[in-house]
Chain A
Amino acid sequence: MKFSTAAGAFVLGLSATGTAALAAEQIHIAGSSTVLPYATIVAEAFAEANPNFKAPIVEGGGTGAGLKEFCKGVGDATIDIADASRPIKAEELDACKAAGVTEVQEIRIGYDGIVFASDIKGPDFAYEPADWFNALGARVLKDGQLVDNPNAKWSDVKAGFPDWDIAAYIPGEKHGTREVFEEKLLLAGCKATKAYDAFIASGLAAADAQKACVKVRKDGKAIDIDGEYNETLARIDSNKTGIGVFGLDFYQNNKDKLKVATVSGIAPTVDTIAKGEYPVSRPLFFYVKKAHLGVVPGLKDYVEFFLADQMIGPRSPTVAKGLVPAPKEERQKMLADFQAGKTL
């Protein structure tokens, strides 16, 4: 039959061209969707500066998914770099080593700020971590007693806040951002309001008390957003009294729609985050498979290119996009460590 001959020829053609395509491999990156925009900027600039290399392929998917893919082993079908918005966990590193990825190089590229913003026409907010704990904690301290969170309006949380029903759009549990939110706000607020001490006093061990602190109320006032920041923005568009959690980069691109709040009196800017004044920030990383360094063309050049001042320095395009640059000494040390071949 004509069809099957054509099909056979096509499949044969595929396998013939396939071997050629596999030989000329390009860098493959996957991981954190927070790092994704910076990785794509560098990938694009890298391809423009080095026309002999193909542009790296960058996938999102989340820190955990990226590291899982990264730790599948070495070779053509595995990725070369995993982007991460948190350090690799010990068990992830163990999984890597078990699969043959014995040498992993860690690169810290800079910092990320997490901001709280509401509709542009609303009032200004100035939060303390304690306010977020009192607004969203599952159990809070009221008159010296641990009770299920009774606060229904922001004005219940603190005098001076508007008379708005609490509606907070916070990152879902699969987001790396959620961990920062829990640690830097809920846990800090829990300790500041002495609720942590009350949890301990009620007989909980320290680890369990921390878990109780970051437990978010489940009565619909805290809304998990598992999608991207665009979804959070859409929620605030339809509910003008909602408060959303965003990345600094996203807020900077939507300044005409969002009003940002201060935390502990500090407004989030690239400057305050780089100096460590703004409390809700975290380092961003990527992990390189050392075994691929001499094998995948351009991989070493890409990492060095990433660490150049032109890419993650104070006046670079990634910083314009919202990355908070690391101090110069830290960046130089990263590059030196990478070139020296330091592994985890």
Chain B
Amino acid sequence: MTDRALPLPPSQLSGPDVRKISRIDIGLKRRYAAERRFRTFGLMAVALALTFLALLFGSIVLRGYTAFQQTRITMIVDFDPAIIAPDGDRSPAAIMSGNAFRFDDLIAAALVRTLEIDPNDEDALYDGLDLLSKGSGPMLRSMIAADPTLIGTKKAVAFYATGDVDSFVKGTIPADVPESQRLIKDKHIVLIDRLKADGALRLAFNTALFTNGASTRPEMAGVGVALVGSLYMMLVVLVLSLPLGVAGSIYLEEFAPKNRWTDLIEVNINNLAAVPSIVYGLLGLAVFINFAHLPRSASLVGGLVLTLTTLPTIIIATRAALKAVPPSIREAGLGIGASKMQTVFHHVLPLAMPGVLTGTIIGLAHALGETAPLLMIGMKAFIVDYPSTPLDPATALPTQIYMWATEPERAFTERTSAAIIVLLAFLLAMNSIAILLRRAFERRW
């Protein structure tokens, strides 16, 4: 607005001035137009980004939300001691050993009663068993081993339906294609409809998705092992990269002389932050596994590799936070006789802490979603058992997503999206914590 220097009405001005004003007017219009254009472009860019984001989240949520529910078939099981413990030994060890197929007999008996079929009609029995997860026998066995007092009682057990039945009930396997091309046959549909009408077959919350490890059967597969693996890795990253990163930045920022060497180090740290993470994976494979002989697939190795990828981010964030503390604080500290170290640890670092924590959490969130380096160190593996220490084999959330994405079964498709939702929820939570921390501890000078 300061450009428009002459507020006089045009009638009071002589010839050249009028021309000047009208030129200013034209320039003004042009500048307004340019600003409007820029704003429109900006809005369009934001709208475009938001649209893609909405599309991404929309498609993932639409494909994945069904996986949080799962088809269960509830049947009354007669925990017959003659079958479970033929020699009378009811200890968990005895239940876990011996013929594993005896638990399938319990399921078959329960199915015969539920469907009211002739026990000698094998075809009808097998058609019914087709609906149940092949993991039902082992599931029943672990259940009895965990609670041997079940033996001799009758109790309703909610079995998992197979992944295909689950997909059919949810509509992802369409019923309107010819039977020969359909994964669920007509005879099974009859049974499904019947069990549904009886209330035996229904959708329930999918606990297996959160508690189980890898499985070839989608209905039994879960992200449990991956969650624990990711948690271990985050612990290792936090424990190693926070002290290392903070100590390194304090030294570089507060103590190190400013010379060619520290410049070189700074440039290199910035470069390291931009190195593709797969490179760190290769480095981890060569150093931690092939050279140091740490076990493959262990979350400790994953954590070490991710520490390397996170360190530059944390150092850069910490140095920025330290730089933002006004020099007057340091001068005041030094002025009343505190040593350099006392000044840094008593005054500068506490004031920089919100920035440090924010940087750390964002670095951790990055590490949580990192996939490529983990592929190199064997964390993309089929792992059923929970890791009890960070040295045991484990997977991570992003690698679990990657593995499920390559499975052919329809039921794994929705579980892939569900696992993505779980990962996104964690990332969202971590980023929110970072924002909250910043809000809570932010200092203004």
Contact = CB atoms under 8 A, between A and B. Distances in A.
B240 A7 contact: yes
B384 A77 contact: no
Interface stretch (B147-155, B255-263, B266-274, B292-300): B292-300
Given A3-B242, A6-B239, A14-B389, A77 B294 contact: yes
B389 A256 contact: no
A55 interface: yes
Interface string A52-86: 10110111110000000000100111010000000
Nearest to A10: B239
Interface string B288-321: 0110011111001000000000000000000000
A237 to B, nearest CB: 12
Residue from A33, A40, A52, A321 with most neighbouring chain B CB atoms (10 Å)? A40
A4 B243 contact: yes
A21 B289 contact: no
B296 A256 contact: no
Interface string A200-228: 00000000000000000000000000011
A18 interface: yes
A21 B290 contact: no
A272 interface: no
Interface residues of A, number: 54
B364 to A, nearest CB: 15
Residue from B181, B294, B295, B408 with most neighbouring chain A CB atoms (10 Å)? B408
B289 A77 contact: yes
B406 A256 contact: no
Interface stretch (B30-38, B70-78, B114-122, B375-383): B375-383
Interface in A1-35: 1, 3-4, 6-7, 10-11, 14, 17-18, 20-22, 26, 28, 30, 33
Nearest to B289: A77
Given A10-B239, A77-B296, A256 B174 contact: yes
Q: How large is the interface on B (under 10, 10 to 19, 20 to 34, 35 or more residues)?
A: 35 or more
Nearest to B142: A51
A37 B216 contact: yes
Contact of B293 (A28, A77, A120): A77
B405 interface: yes
A25 to B, nearest CB: 8
B242 A59 contact: no
B383 A55 contact: yes
Contacts of B290: 72, 77
Contacts of A127: none
Given A49-B100, A77-B293, A59 B135 contact: no
A130 interface: no
A47 interface: yes
Contacts of A55: 383-385
B383 A57 contact: yes
Interface in B175-212: 177, 180-183
Contacts of B300: 14, 18
Contacts of A51: 96-97
Contact of A253 (B183, B239, B405, B406): B183
Contact of A21 (B134, B174, B384, B392): B392
A250 to B, nearest CB: 5
A21 B239 contact: no
Interface string A238-257: 00000000000110011110
A57 B381 contact: yes
A48 interface: yes
A103 interface: no
A230 interface: yes
Contact of A22 (B173, B240, B391, B405): B391
Given A26-B393, A37-B216, A72-B290, A79 B296 contact: yes
A59 B380 contact: yes
A255 B135 contact: no
B408 A59 contact: no
A47 B71 CA distance: 25
B281 interface: no
Interface of A: 1, 3-4, 6-7, 10-11, 14, 17-18, 20-22, 26, 28, 30, 33, 36-37, 39-41, 43-44, 47-49, 51-52, 54-55, 57-61, 72, 75-77, 79, 120, 227-230, 249-250, 253-256, 317, 321
Q: Which 10 A-B pairs have CB atoms at the shortest separation, nearest pair first?
A: A55-B384, A58-B382, A17-B389, A253-B408, A48-B138, A228-B406, A59-B381, A51-B96, A21-B391, A18-B391
Given A14-B390, A120-B181, 19 more contacts: A7-B239, A10-B239, A21-B388, A26-B385, A28-B296, A41-B216, A44-B215, A44-B384, A57-B383, A57-B393, A59-B380, A59-B381, A60-B380, A76-B293, A227-B406, A250-B408, A253-B408, A255-B180, A256-B174
